[in-house]
Amino acid sequence: MNTAVSSASRLSVAPMMAWTDRHCRYFHRLMSKQALLYTEMVTAPALVLGGALRLLDFNPEEQPVALQLGGSDPKQLGRATALGAAHGYDEINLNLGCPSDRVQSGSFGAVLMTEPDVVRACLEQMLQASDSEVTVKCRIGVDDQIAQETLPEFLSMVQSTGVKRVTIHARKALLKGLSPKENRDIPPLNYPLVLQMKLAFPGLHLSINGGVNSLAAAQEHLSAGLDGAMIGRAAYQNPYDILARVDCDVFEGDAAPSADDIAEQMISYIEAHLQQGERLHQITRHMFGLFAGQTGARHWRRRLSEFGGKHGSNLADYRILLNEMRVILEQQHELEVG
| Positions marked catalytic | 98
CA 329/CA 309 separation, integer angstroms: 26
How wide is the angle at C-alpha 302 spanned by C-alphas 297 and 308, nearest 5°?
130
> What is the spatial order of strands in the sheet that 65-70 belongs to?
11-13, 228-231, 205-209, 165-173, 133-142, 91-96, 65-70, 37-43
- Beta-bridged to residue 228, according to DSSP, are 207
Q: Comparing C-alpha atoms, which of 130, 136, 99 is closest to residue 116? A: 136
CB 107 within 8 A of CB 65: no
CA 115/CA 83 separation, integer angstroms: 25
Q: What are phi and psi of 278, to 5 degrees?
A: -85, 160
The amino acid that residue 174 corresponds to is: L
CA 107/CA 237 separation, integer angstroms: 30
